[in-house]
Amino acid sequence: MELTKKSHACVRLEKDGRTLVIDPGGFSEEDAALGADAILITHEHADHFDEGRLRAGMEHNPAAEIWTLAAVADQIAGAFPGRVHTVGEGDTFTAAGFEVEVHGQMHAVIHPDIPRITNVGYLVDGAVFHPGDALTVPEGRTVDTLLLPVHAPWNKVSEVIDYLREVGPRRAVDIHDSLLQDHARPVYDRMLGQLGRAEHDRLAAGERTRVR
């Protein structure tokens, strides 16, 4: 399985000629969902969910399907009839040949005055975990590659380090990084590499790596 990092929180996974895209949002490339056979969306925030990018991907491949939680499915099911599947914590399904488990329920707290929304994470082929906007630990599961949200309005680096330690993957690959300026990246790299107790990788947008 090969992973391509797209901008911000979007990634593409490819195996056996099939492509799975997670979170092609407004901070990712306009063509982030093109070529997808299946699309997963973790929650409704615009940096993870952009209807224009979804529409481009769904029109490009009339056989493509979307899996997401109810808050997003309710917004797009009418636009893509029969091609949107609603999932929640504990569900398992097969999407374009990828085996997916759903973990988590709620978005991380941004501020007590901001109502929380729902959020799910996806464990793909028992190996790659995308938590969306939460520090969800997939209980009872061993994660090979954790897609690690390094910088967001709802987290701080000590929480990210502790989350990395708790999940305990072999490797962490940074996501959710568009708000982090380039001159700050070495600071995060050093702390995560030294304190995270896992192999730590930062990929540029468009860079590919093999997982599992």
| Contact call for residues 42 and 133 (beta carbons, < 8 A) | yes
Q: pLDDT digits over 139-191, tens only? A: 999 999 999 999 999 999 999 999 999 999 999 999 999 999 999 999 999 99
2-89+98-203 CATH pick, 3.60.15.10, 1.10.3210.10, 1.10.260.40, 2.60.40.10: 3.60.15.10
Query: Mean pLDDT, to the nearest integer, of 109-135?
Result: 98
Dist CA 66 CA 49 (whole Å)? 12
Mean pLDDT in residue range 41-49: 98
> pTM for this structure?
0.98
Question: Is-contact 55 79, C-beta < 8 A?
Answer: yes
| Tokens representing residue 178 in the block | 């568009």
Q: What is the pLDDT of residue 134?
A: 98
Q: For the stretch 140-161, what's the b/e string if a residue is b when 16 or more beta carbons lie within 10 angstroms of its beta carbon?
A: eeebbbbbbbbbbebbeeeebb
- pLDDT, tens digit (0-9, with 9 covering 90-100), for 62-108: 999 999 999 999 999 999 999 999 999 999 999 999 999 999 999 99
| Average pLDDT, rounded, for the chain | 98
Q: Where would I find the beta strands (DSSP E) of the chain?
A: 2-5, 11-15, 18-22, 38-41, 65-68, 84-86, 92-95, 98-103, 121-124, 128-130, 145-149, 171-175, 199-201, 208-210
To 10 degrees, the CA torsion angle through 129, 133, 137, 143?
10
**Residue 95, beta-bridge partner list:** 98
Residues of the chain with pLDDT > 90, as a percent, come to 100
What residue type is assigned to position 39 of the chain? I
Flag whether pLDDT at 212 surpasses 80. no
